[in-house]
Structure 1
Amino acid sequence: MTTIDAPRSKAPQPRARRVNWEKWGWIYMRASGVVLLVLIFGHLFVNLVAGEGVKAIDFAFVAGKLADPFWIVWDTLLLWLALIHGANGMRTLVNDYASKPIVRRILLGAIAGSTIVLLLLGTLVIYTFDPCPAVGPAELLPSFCPAR
């Protein structure tokens, strides 16, 4: 005669705790989306509505903004949150539609690589921007730079 063990007759084995990256990616998309709304509309208001509008945006306007630590932090947050938000969205699309594992790995690697490069270059531009460099011909300097 064959006997069938009672369900759950054996004690369940404890599973190793792992980080649920999908859950944290989902939470990040919602939280960063809310913060990005504030950052983007603030950016658009300052650049397009306040002051003289879009015709006032030139090299001097950007140089003035990047001389203020508040706008450096604002632009850095905007850059990092938007790029990581976009990369996470692209990662989700690749996971949903790339059926072959090798293609998925290649695409995810390309997304990660391009995101890292853009984050590094964008951050470098924000923090090293100098409208009045010490070297270079004086005639190429903007008019607001002191004579050197």
Structure 2
Amino acid sequence: MKQTIVNNCKLNIGATKTFRILAEQSNGYANIGASLTEFKNFKRNIKCYIGEKDADMILDYLKALSESQDGFYYAYQVDEDNCLAKIFWADAQARMNYSLFGDTITFDPTYGTNKYHMAFTPFTGVDNHKKSVTFLLCTCRS
């Protein structure tokens, strides 16, 4: 049950909806083995655990990828308060695509920001087969 909540959190599915899904799969709310309040409390505890460590967690994840995957690259910058301000990553396939077809790139920094005022900016290139090639950049919007 807890793993289902964690997995659904990754998909941006909240505790209430997860509770309803499990009730449907279990043939009723009485068969779940927990209350909606317990689901919400568990999700709250996950958020508390992550707390202010979310930037460290993503950087640790990217470091692990760079150590385990040849050609994986990432870079980041922090601001004057030592808070994550910019982050960029690309795997070997994205880097190869960029080196071969990087002459046409567009980006839209108006996509939106998260609670840290960071914009998630997709870069899209076009290869010689007229296929889109996507690159990603997260930057701090002022």
TM-score range, shorter chain: under 0.3
Q: Which has the higher contact order (CA 8 A, sep 6+)?
A: 1
TM-score for both structures, normalised by structure 1 = 0.26
The structure with the largest strand share of the pair is 2
The structure with the largest helix share of the pair is 1
TM-score for both structures, normalised by structure 2 = 0.27
For the pair shown, the structure with the greater C-alpha radius of gyration is 1
